[in-house]
A and B are shown apart, each in its own frame.
Chain A
């Protein structure tokens, strides 16, 4: 299975270099996470006197200070991310289905053009796209409205979701379509009762990735939703990095609390993320 199988027999069983590399990677990725947790458990006094202490009396004072503001933001971000995920899937699954069918040269040309368009759309520098976007949303009275941010994120992520979803559609055997046609199934029935049941894996993978990216997105989030009463998670964190640059326990506490929903999504979708990312990104 492995790419670099070691020779069959070795005289001495030293720890293999591979194990050391894996352990090193583990440390490099675990320490920052631990540091978030440890710092969040430090009270204001501890963080002021010994910011790097590893042994200290843990305190929940930071959490009680930030719980309210954090939960407001988590709720806003949750509504945004859930709505974006649902809408992106609603738009992207049918599109990926259409772009994943191979039905002739004319359609193949349409597919190539639409794919190229989606590819280009993914590359728009977001800090600039946000200016005209702001104008459009202002015209629709959707600035500082959760739905404005939702729309902007849907437009940002729909092309990406289509490109990620398409390989899953391509994986549906053509015999199924032929069978559906023999049965005289209509186009929509083919989609609903043949295609959709074949895609739960793809939908879960793409849905999880869209949720994760929306959660972390911050250029749109900080520009389009600045109402302090409903700051999304990114807006709150960005505000903290500029306002309380030295209040590390507060910032790490917020980072921790606002990442809990991500942890849940991650635990649910872990295996699919590992597989889906390696397949989808290349295709």
Chain B
């Protein structure tokens, strides 16, 4: 570690003359070209961009959520309402079903990404021509725009789509995947899970490849079979990776909007209206910007709370 000389330097935005003083600490460290005052300069462009076009919109969004903002007042001065919008949101009969839909969506993603993701990662961690081909294919699918993967699944799951015609071919009845109110949410969630699974597999696989081979050899010498090994060696070692992945999946699910938009537009009725989609609808279909902003703000608080364990997990991962 370097000496504390730099603390005063950087805090005072010191001129180069000061920086040339020899450091009291580190031997051999001439203080010419001291990096510290410069380091902050490297941050400036990113911070400026994010402040102007990242932080400012958040501030506006929170302001909007406590104001009366409609299509006519968007550009005018906003009337302050206090918690009125929030009260209206919590009392509305669309909010809690949307919370439920968001939770189902998140649950499906978690189960698919973690359980299937784990098994698939274990399989795809073995080097072979087949596994590397499958992995490439999956990463390409991950790279496709959600509009593309959402549309093709909408087509596949349509009333006369490939899935139903295959079912009929083997003598099973057709299913209304996207128009049956009991099924639509599950279908959309599964497609979103399909699209995010490659990412989950990459992360889990990365964690698995980092496990030293000796550990697994030792376990196998002790007579542990594949399942035993997974339960008592691999999963405990992967816990930090799996924890971070869990939070990433939850964050993704809480923001996810694309597949709902493409496949069902929130319907039939409102069964697939998740919270981000509800916020979008309030803002852009009924132009209740204040209400939409209130929903988004609630969502953001939840997301920020979830981010705390993420940041904590990352720090642990890094020091490990």
A133 at the interface (CB under 8 A from B): yes
Within 8 A of B (CB), among A166-219: 177-178, 181-182, 184-191, 212, 215-216, 218-219
- Give B145-175 as 1s and 0s: 1 = Cβ < 8 Å from A's Cβ atoms: 1111101111110001110010000000000
Candidates A120, A133, A187, A270; contact of B136 at CB < 8 Å: A270
CB contacts (< 8 Å) of B35 on chain A: these are: 101, 103, 177, 181, 187, 190
- Given A155-B53, A191-B42, decide whether A125 and B60 contact each other with a Cβ distance below 8 A: no
CB-based nearest A residue for B310: A119
How far is B125's CA from A263's CA once the two chains are assembled, in angstroms?
A: 24
Are B54 and A159 closer than 8 Å at their CB atoms?
Answer: yes
Q: Number of contacting residues on B, CB 8 A?
A: 126
B39 at the interface (CB under 8 A from A): yes
A interface SS class = helix
Are A277 and B53 closer than 8 Å at their CB atoms?
Answer: no
Closest chain-A Cβ to B67's Cβ sits at a distance in Å of 12
CB contacts (< 8 Å) of B4 on chain A: these are: 104-105
- Given A7-B225, A118-B50, A182-B30, decide whether A281 and B155 contact each other with a Cβ distance below 8 A: no
A4 at the interface (CB under 8 A from B): yes
Closest chain-B Cβ to A159's Cβ sits at a distance in Å of 6
Candidates B134, B262, B299; contact of A22 at CB < 8 Å: B134
Candidates A125, A263, A270; contact of B255 at CB < 8 Å: A125
CB contacts (< 8 Å) of A263 on chain B: these are: 140
Task: List 9 A-B pairs, minimum CB-CB distance, nearest first.
Answer: A278-B206, A216-B145, A155-B53, A187-B38, A132-B60, A128-B296, A95-B46, A127-B280, A94-B42
Chain B: residues with CB nearer than 8 A to chain A? 1-4, 6-7, 10-11, 28-30, 32-40, 42-43, 45-47, 49-50, 52-58, 60-61, 64, 74-75, 119-127, 130-131, 133-141, 143-149, 151-156, 160-162, 165, 194, 198-199, 202-203, 205-209, 211, 213, 216-217, 220, 225-226, 229-230, 234, 241, 244-245, 248, 251, 255, 257-258, 261-262, 276-277, 279-280, 283-284, 289, 292-293, 296, 299-300, 303-304, 307, 310-311, 314, 317-318
